[in-house]
A = this chain, B = another copy of it.
Amino acid sequence: MGRIFKERTSVDEALRLFLRNISPFKHTEEVPLQACAGRVLAEAVVSGRDVPHYRRAAMDGYAVRASDTPGASPANPVLLQLSDSMEEGTTMWIHTGAALPEEADAVVMVEDTITVRDMVEIRVQVYPGRNVGQVGEDIKRKDLIFEEGHLLRPCDAAVLASIGLKRVKVFRKPVVAIIPTGDELVSRETAGEVPPPGMVLETNGLMNALYVERWGGVFRCTGIVPDRPESIREAVETNLDADMILISGGTSVGKRDHAPEVVESLGKLLVHGVGIIPGKPTALGIIDKTPVVCLPGYPVAGLVALYFFVRPGIRKLGSIPEVPEIVLRKRLTAKISSKIGYVNFIRVVFEGDRVRPIMGAGAGVLSSVAKADGYVLVPENVEGYEEGQEVEVFLIE
In the complex the two chains form, is B154's CB within 8 Å of A96's CB? no
Interface of A is mostly: loop
A137 at the interface (CB under 8 A from B): yes
Distance A207 CA – B156 CA, assembled complex (angstroms): 8
A352 at the interface (CB under 8 A from B): no
Distance A156 CA – B366 CA, assembled complex (angstroms): 9
Could you say which of A96, A143, A198 has the most chain B C-beta atoms within 10 Å of its C-beta?
A: A198
A367 at the interface (CB under 8 A from B): yes
A161 at the interface (CB under 8 A from B): yes
Contact A370 to B155, CB < 8 A, known contacts A198-B54, A364-B133 = yes
Give residues 363-377 of A contacting B (CB, 8 Å).
Answer: 364-367, 369-370
In the complex the two chains form, is A139's CB within 8 Å of B367's CB? yes
Contact A54 to B214, CB < 8 A, known contacts A158-B203, A203-B158, A370-B146 = no
Q: How far is the CB of A110 from chain B (nearest CB, A)?
A: 6
Q: How large is the interface on A (under 10, 10 to 19, 20 to 34, 35 or more residues)?
A: 35 or more
Q: How far is the CB of A360 from chain B (nearest CB, A)?
A: 11
> How many copies are assembled?
2
From B162, B326, B366, A158 is in contact (CB under 8 Å) with B366
- Least CB separation from A191: chain B residue: B164
- Least CB separation from A102: chain B residue: B197
A34 at the interface (CB under 8 A from B): yes
A395 at the interface (CB under 8 A from B): yes
A71 at the interface (CB under 8 A from B): no
A119 at the interface (CB under 8 A from B): no
Contact A367 to B60, CB < 8 A, known contacts A161-B203, A210-B154, A299-B158 = no
In the complex the two chains form, is B323's CB within 8 Å of A158's CB? no
CB neighbours (8 Å) of A359 from chain B are none
A138 at the interface (CB under 8 A from B): yes
Could you say which of A110, A133, A193, A201 has the most chain B C-beta atoms within 10 Å of its C-beta?
A: A201
Binds B, one of A45-53, A79-87, A228-236: A45-53
CB neighbours (8 Å) of A137 from chain B are 365
CB neighbours (8 Å) of A157 from chain B are 206-207, 210
In the complex the two chains form, is B197's CB within 8 Å of A54's CB? yes
CB neighbours (8 Å) of A17 from chain B are none
Give residues 329-346 of A contacting B (CB, 8 Å).
Answer: none
Q: How far is the CB of A218 from chain B (nearest CB, A)?
A: 13
Distance A17 CA – B131 CA, assembled complex (angstroms): 35
Can you list 30 residue pairs at the A/B interface with Cβ under 8 Å? A34-B206, A37-B210, A37-B213, A37-B214, A49-B194, A52-B200, A60-B254, A97-B184, A97-B198, A133-B364, A138-B365, A143-B367, A153-B396, A154-B209, A154-B210, A155-B303, A157-B206, A157-B207, A158-B203, A158-B204, A158-B299, A158-B366, A159-B367, A159-B370, A162-B201, A164-B191, A164-B201, A166-B188, A323-B326, A324-B326
Contacts A56-B198, A154-B207 aside, 6 further interface pairs with beta carbons under 8 A come to A37-B214, A155-B369, A156-B370, A159-B369, A162-B200, A164-B194
